[in-house]
Amino acid sequence: MTPKEKLDHIVEAAEDIKAENIEILDVRDKTSVADYFIVCTGNSDRHVDSIADRVAEKMRILKERPIRSEGGNSGWILQDYGDIILHIMREEQRQFYDLESLWKNAQSDPNLPR
């Protein structure tokens, strides 16, 4: 599965369960960790957990499993699918950590292959 197809499936699963403010960050020229970050908001810890469960379920059906998953009952869950990293956050954590600004303002890394 291409990174773009994986990205589309993850976003679709998050939308299906009403994740809010889904933002896709293209970080290919900024880090070798992943090609894209997806950041979305859940309105409660239960909603954050439900979004993570729905995405994991859909990806499992597509034979894709996260390399790792972190968080739970903390207001922030991260699922690492290799070239795609999904951040599901409550609004408070999202505003505090402001990943969007951090990565949008990050300089391109000239040492990364293009």
Domains assigned to the chain:
3-102 (3.30.460.10)
* Mean pLDDT of the 41-59 span: 95
Question: What pTM did the predictor assign?
Answer: 0.91
**pLDDT tens by residue, 62-93:** 999 999 999 877 789 999 999 999 999 999 99
| pLDDT-based confidence at residue 114 (cuts at 50, 70, 90) | low
Q: For 5, phi and psi rounded to 5 degrees?
A: -65, -45
Q: Is 18 left (phi over 0), alpha (psi -120 to 50) or beta?
A: left
What percent of the chain clears pLDDT 90, i.e. is strictly above it? 71
CA dihedral 74→34→68→38, nearest 10 degrees, is: 40
Strands 76-80 and 20-26: unpaired
